[in-house]
């Protein structure tokens, strides 16, 4: 018996060396498990004479606690080795360069639209919207352009049905607003317009307009000039002048083509302004009495002015963009230059 105890102790001392956590758990079962080496000793114990039992009992218990202690110390050691190995493995190197996040930005056209909105808001205008799919009535009829009118030919456009089309201008919003609200009216409205234009450096089948409409008592052409001059100065710079040249739009009378002094050459003449010193921005004029009558506003009491400028044109002049198609090509080299 004595020898057996000694033998197990020696075996344990030998086996416990340099074991992994898993191996230690196996050893624990091997020695202390229900059918383990030490448990078997207890079976022998029964064969020991009574007077020796106390002695051997103490010996076996001593062996048992020796093995228990040995294993738990080794388990602790293996666990701490494992923990530091994990720590080492999962260490974060804070000096490594980070992952660059690519952020987007507003398209230059959206930026220009916001700028225009801000300017008109500061002048007391409200910002309105209207539908891009429009009725023939609003796009033409109510704007004093009856079916036979040659002005329609200039705006040859996309019809969805006989009476429904993609709007060719933002002017139909004028009518919708005047139908809905009573004067005084002071609004701008921006949005996409569509015309069957062949694309070139200054034409595209989709483009944006900014429409303005003011209706009140005693509104004059001077108010129109003042408003657009102030807008142009805020948008392009203090030195910019606005020029009005007589023009024809069926829904205004008098009507005018509006240009600004060339921001490239300052009006001296260059290739951008085709040596004229002026850049055309869009149409304007005093709202035609027929249009007011169409929406039930008495032209004897109320007058107003309206204008419609090309949004791309404004952005092109402001940022010296040579070709309208660039807005729609989605070329990152172009878009990145204006990342706001
Ligand atoms: N809607 C006209 C166009 O697209 C511009 C315009 C607007 C003219 C308002 C006069 C008044 O050409």
Query: What spacing in Å lies between the alpha carbon of 209 and ligand 1's midpoint?
Result: 9
283 Cβ inside 6 Å of ligand 1:
yes
Closest residue by CA, ligand 1 atom 8: 283
Beta strands in the chain (DSSP E): 126-128, 133-135, 164-166, 185-194, 206-216, 242-247, 252-261, 278-287, 303-310
252 Cβ inside 6 Å of ligand 1:
yes
> For residue 40, is pLDDT > 90?
no
For the record, the structure tokens of 307 come out as 């204008």
Query: What spacing in Å lies between the alpha carbon of 192 and ligand 1's midpoint?
Result: 14
| Mean of pLDDT values over 307-328 | 95
β-strand pairing of 252-261 with 278-287: antiparallel
> For residue 51, is pLDDT > 80?
yes
Query: What spacing in Å lies between the alpha carbon of 195 and ligand 1's midpoint?
Result: 14
284 Cβ inside 6 Å of ligand 1:
yes
Query: What spacing in Å lies between the alpha carbon of 56 and ligand 1's midpoint?
Result: 114
pLDDT digits (tens, 9 = 90+) for 132-162: 999 999 999 999 999 988 888 888 789 999 9
194 Cβ inside 6 Å of ligand 1:
no
In eight-state DSSP terms, residue 221 is H
Query: What spacing in Å lies between the alpha carbon of 250 and ligand 1's midpoint?
Result: 9
DSSP 273-295: TTTSSEEEEEEEEEEPHHHHHHT
pLDDT digits (tens, 9 = 90+) for 192-246: 999 999 999 889 999 999 999 999 999 999 999 999 999 999 999 999 999 999 9
For the record, the structure tokens of 144 come out as 């004093």
Query: What spacing in Å lies between the alpha carbon of 310 and ligand 1's midpoint?
Result: 9
Query: What spacing in Å lies between the alpha carbon of 193 and ligand 1's midpoint?
Result: 12
Can you give the pLDDT at residue 12?
85
Atom of ligand 1 nearest to the CA of 256: 10
> For residue 46, is pLDDT > 80?
no
> For residue 177, is pLDDT > 80?
yes
Say if residues 205 and 195 touch (Cβ distance below 8 Å). yes
207 Cβ inside 6 Å of ligand 1:
no
pTM, two decimals, is 0.73
249 Cβ inside 6 Å of ligand 1:
yes
Query: What spacing in Å lies between the alpha carbon of 29 and ligand 1's midpoint?
Result: 94
> For residue 169, is pLDDT > 90?
yes
Q: Is the peptide bond before 78 cis (omega within 30 degrees of 0)?
A: no
Which of 165, 283, 286, 305 maximizes ligand 1 atoms within 8 Å of its Cβ, making it the mutation to test the pocket?
Answer: 283
> For residue 324, is pLDDT > 90?
yes
Distances from the Cα of 27 to the Cα of 5, 33, 238, 291, angstroms: 17, 9, 91, 100
307 Cβ inside 6 Å of ligand 1:
yes
């Amino acid at each position: 018996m004595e020898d057996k105890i000694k033998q197990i102790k020696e075996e344990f001392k030998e086996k416990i060396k340099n074991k992994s956590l898993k191996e230690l758990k196996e050893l624990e079962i091997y020695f202390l498990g229900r059918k383990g080496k030490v448990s078997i000793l207890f079976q022998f114990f029964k064969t020991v004479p009574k007077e020796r039992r106390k002695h051997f009992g103490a010996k076996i218990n001593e062996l048992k606690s020796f093995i228990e202690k040995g294993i738990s110390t080794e388990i602790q050691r293996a666990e701490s080795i494992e923990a530091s190995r994990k720590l080492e493995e999962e260490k974060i190197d804070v000096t490594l360069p980070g992952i660059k996040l690519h952020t987007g930005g507003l398209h230059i056209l959206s930026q220009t639209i916001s700028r225009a909105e801000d300017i008109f808001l500061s002048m007391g205008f409200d910002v309105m919207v209207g539908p891009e799919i429009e009725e023939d009535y609003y796009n033409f009829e109510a704007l004093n352009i009856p079916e036979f009118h040659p002005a329609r030919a200039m705006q040859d456009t996309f019809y969805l049905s006989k009476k429904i089309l993609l709007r060719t201008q933002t002017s139909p919003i004028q009518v919708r607003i005047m139908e809905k609200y009573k004067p005084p009216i002071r609004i701008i409205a921006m949005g996409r317009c569509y015309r069957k234009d062949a694309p070139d450096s200054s034409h595209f089948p989709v483009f944006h307009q900014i429409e303005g409409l003011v209706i009140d008592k005693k509104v004059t052409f001077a108010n129109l000039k003042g408003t657009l001059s102030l807008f142009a100065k805020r948008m392009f710079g203090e030195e910019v002048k606005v020029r009005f040249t007589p023009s024809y739009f069926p829904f205004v009378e008098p009507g005018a083509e509006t240009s600004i002094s060339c921001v490239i050459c300052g009006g001296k003449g260059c290739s951008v302004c085709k040596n004229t010193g002026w850049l055309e921005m869009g149409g304007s004029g005093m709202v035609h009495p027929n249009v007011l009558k169409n929406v039930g506003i008495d032209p004897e009491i109320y007058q107003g002015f309206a204008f419609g400028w090309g949004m791309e044109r404004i952005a092109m002049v402001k940022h010296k963009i040579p070709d309208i198609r660039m807005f729609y090509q989605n070329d990152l080299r172009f878009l990145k230059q204006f990342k706001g």
